[in-house]
């Protein structure tokens, strides 16, 4: 009896050890759906399909999708981004990463910021695991417009590769979803959907995907790999050698401002943005985890303090910031805009979303936990100035248009309508009534000419006034633009880096607590 009890206790503990980490890491459907829709593009203009944004280089986005959508050519194909913007797919050639595997990589150019897929571990996609297939079906009677759907289901099996297809699942899919992402319970990309099982041309309800590991393992020339993966095939080495001795010396002497400035300089060096002096969303995503861990360990080590109650702990560091955000998400139950705003308030980066004045950061140990290091950001001030410049130019165009309208419409209209009426009115007043015969035609001509000159002068004055005002606004816009171009690094250094991309960058890395 005792042996049976021991057996069941051990079995229960074993099951909990397996299930609890999965439950802890899983996120709800609403979060999965939000992640999925931000990384999915619709393929249109040729055959209908879907794809997932997985990489960006400069202004070029790379989309992983299914090869059979294109028939070896992307002529006329469009990529419809998550915000609905339509982009022409680059070149006439579809990049095929692996021969005899139904995968393709296409690209489009945009200066907008779009999310990139986080790469998961498709080897862990075993039977029973929950997965989500993402894509936009072709229009139907019930759904007349292509809409991105996120369909939940389960892995039901795995087969040997057939044109790359291995994963089998029971998610409902339709035509137009081929090339779309298959996500795991953490919202990470584990496969590319592209095939439905059929018997006598009737769908069985089962569908297949190519595991992401197939793409990751391939030796691919001229096709970029994802920025990061949860299970990389090899650990990338830092691209830039960085010396941290200056930072350590500054932290030892509690020179917080100097240490923060050095941290910023070192991190900018890692992503080759020293000349710009501020971080973009993409540059934050490219920071090597190994270097972030070194910087974090130094900040943790030299910001140790003992609170009134509790054990000694670190006040500053990326790991402290990450822990605070994770606790906020745990309490809120969702990772959304409100969570980022609460995080900003918790660190006294008030204003939310990194809009706090960078110059007002506190460089004291009694600042809020996680307050440092603080990074200069993505130029919301400059962007706001850009909007005001565009507004000035729009107004200038409107005034120039009014001046032209007044000149070419007002002048002929005044000559044909206002001059005769006004002349008749003036003549009727000044013409002598008692001696009508003494008033000759020459006098009438003089009045008409005077009125004509007067009306024309007024119209011309208004037209010139509009054009002058337009020119003044154009000059003001140009002056503001030139000033902004000269002060971009300054403008960037006055705001904090965007909180969402900062957190996303930290979430890629596993930090250790200082002991």
Question: Hey, which residues does 49 pair with through a beta bridge?
Answer: 43
Q: Picking from 180-189, 306-315, 422-431, which range would have the lowest pLDDT averaged per residue?
A: 422-431
Q: List, as one string, the DSSP characters of 98-143.
A: STTSS-EEEEEE-SS----PPB--GGG--TT-EEEEEE-PPP-SSS
C-alpha span between 349 and 478 (Å, rounded): 34
**Which of 167-171, 308-312, 481-485 shows the lowest per-residue confidence on average (mean pLDDT)?**
481-485
Q: Read off the pLDDT of each residue in 156-165 and give the average, rounded to a whole number.
A: 90
pLDDT in tens, 467-513: 777 777 777 767 766 665 544 443 333 456 667 778 877 887 888 77
pLDDT for position 484: 52
CA dihedral sign, ordered 211, 212, 213, 216? positive
Average the pLDDT over 333-341 and give the result: 79
Neighbours of 87 (CB within 10 A): 17
What is the arithmetic mean of pLDDT over 441-450?
A: 70
The structure's pTM equals 0.45
Do the Cβ atoms of 111 and 181 come closer than 8 Å? no
**Distance (Å, rounded) from C-alpha 376 to C-alpha 284?**
11
Give the integer Cα–Cα distance in Å for 425 and 24: 90
pLDDT, one tens digit per residue, over 111-134 is: 888 999 999 888 888 888 999 999
Task: Evaluate if residue 86 carries a pLDDT over 70.
Answer: yes
Task: Report which DSSP code applies to 229.
Answer: B
Chain segment 38-68, per-residue pLDDT in tens: 999 999 878 889 999 998 887 889 999 999 8
Average pLDDT of span 345-366 = 68
pLDDT at 87 over 70: yes
392 or 398, higher pLDDT: 398
Summarised one tens digit per residue, pLDDT across range 12-47 is: 445 445 444 444 445 788 889 999 999 999 998 788
Q: What is the pLDDT of residue 165?
A: 93
Q: Where in the chain is the domain with CATH 1.10.10.1770?
A: 244-381+498-509
Mean pLDDT of 346-351: 73
Among 99-103, 149-153, 432-436, which is the least confidently predicted range? 432-436
Task: Record the tokens describing residue 295, joined without a space.
Answer: 């910087």
How would residue 221 be classed by pLDDT, with cut points 50, 70 and 90? low
Instruction: Give me the architecture of the 29-217 domain, per CATH.
Output: Beta Barrel (2.40)
Assign domain 244-381+498-509 to its CATH superfamily. Gun4-like (1.10.10.1770)
Mean pLDDT of 157-167: 91
Q: What is the pLDDT of residue 442?
A: 64
What are the tens digits of pLDDT across the range 362-378?
Answer: 888 889 999 899 887 64
What pLDDT is attached to residue 388? Answer: 57
| pLDDT band for position 355 (cuts 50, 70, 90) | very low
9-23, 286-300, 341-355, 432-446, range with the lowest pLDDT: 9-23
Mean pLDDT, rounded, for 305-331: 88
- With cut-offs at 50, 70 and 90, classify the pLDDT of residue 430: low
Strand 49-57 with 40-44, pairing? antiparallel
Q: What is the mean pLDDT of residues 450-461?
A: 77
Helices 256-270 and 289-302: angle between axes, nearest 10 degrees: 170
pLDDT over 50 at 264, yes or no: yes
More confident residue, 1 or 265: 265
pLDDT digits (tens, 9 = 90+) for 144-158: 888 999 999 999 999
Question: Among the ranges 49-53, 325-329, 384-388, which has the highest mean pLDDT value?
Answer: 49-53
Mean predicted lDDT score pLDDT of the chain: 78
Residue 218 has φ and ψ, to the nearest 5°, of -70, 145
Distance set, CA 217 to CA 17, 162, 181, 231, 373 (Å): 30, 17, 18, 11, 37
């Amino acid at each position: 009896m005792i042996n049976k009890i021991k057996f069941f206790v051990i079995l229960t503990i074993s099951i909990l050890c397996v299930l609890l980490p999965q439950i802890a890491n899983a996120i709800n459907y609403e979060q999965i759906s939000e992640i999925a829709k931000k990384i999915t593009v619709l393929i249109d203009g040729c055959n209908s399909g879907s794809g997932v944004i997985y990489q960006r280089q400069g202004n070029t986005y790379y989309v992983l999708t299914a090869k059979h959508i294109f028939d070896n050519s992307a002529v006329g194909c469009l990529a419809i981004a998550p915000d609905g913007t339509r982009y022409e797919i680059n070149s006439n050639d579809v990049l095929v990463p692996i021969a005899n595997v139904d995968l393709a990589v296409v690209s489009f150019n945009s200066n907008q910021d779009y999310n990139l897929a986080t790469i998961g571990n498709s080897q862990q996609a075993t039977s029973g695991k929950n997965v989500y297939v993402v894509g936009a079906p072709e229009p139907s009677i019930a759904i007349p417009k292509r809409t991105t759907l996120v369909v939940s289901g389960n892995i039901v099996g795995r087969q040997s590769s057939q044109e790359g297809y291995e994963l089998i699942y029971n998610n409902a899919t339709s035509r137009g979803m081929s090339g779309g992402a298959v996500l795991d319970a953490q919202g990470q990309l584990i496969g590319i959907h592209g095939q439905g099982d059929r018997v006598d041309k009737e769908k069985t309800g089962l569908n297949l995907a190519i595991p992401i590991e197939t793409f990751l393992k391939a030796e691919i020339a001229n096709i970029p790999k994802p920025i990061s993966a949860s299970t990389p095939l090899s650990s990338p080495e830092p691209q830039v050698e960085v010396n941290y001795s200056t930072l350590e010396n500054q932290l030892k002497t509690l020179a917080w401002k100097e240490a923060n400035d050095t941290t910023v300089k070192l991190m900018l060096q890692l992503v080759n943005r020293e000349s710009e002096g501020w971080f973009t969303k993409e540059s934050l995503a490219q920071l090597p985890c190994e270097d972030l861990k070194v910087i974090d360990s130094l900040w943790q080590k030299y910001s140790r303090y003992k609170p009134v109650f509790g054990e000694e702990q670190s006040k500053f560091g990326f790991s402290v910031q990450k822990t605070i955000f994770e606790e906020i998400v745990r309490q809120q139950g969702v990772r959304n805009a409100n969570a980022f705003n609460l995080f900003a308030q918790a660190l006294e980066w008030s204003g939310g979303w990194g809009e706090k004045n960078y110059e007002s950061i506190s460089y004291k140990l009694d600042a809020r936990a996680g307050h440092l290091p603080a990074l200069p950001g993505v130029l919301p001030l400059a962007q706001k100035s850009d909007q005001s410049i565009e507004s000035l130019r729009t107004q200038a165009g409107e005034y120039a248009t009014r001046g032209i309208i007044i000149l070419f419409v007002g002048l002929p209209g005044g000559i044909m309508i206002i001059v005769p009426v006004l002349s008749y009115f003036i003549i009727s007043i000044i013409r002598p009534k008692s001696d009508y015969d003494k008033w000759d035609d020459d006098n009438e001509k003089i009045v008409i000419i005077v009125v004509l000159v007067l009306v024309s002068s007024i119209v011309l004055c208004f037209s010139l006034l509009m054009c002058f005002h337009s020119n003044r606004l154009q000059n003001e816009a140009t002056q503001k633009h030139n000033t902004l171009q000269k002060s971009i690094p300054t403008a960037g250094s006055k705001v904090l880096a965007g909180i969402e991309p900062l957190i996303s960058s930290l979430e890629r890395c596993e930090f250790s607590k200082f002991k």
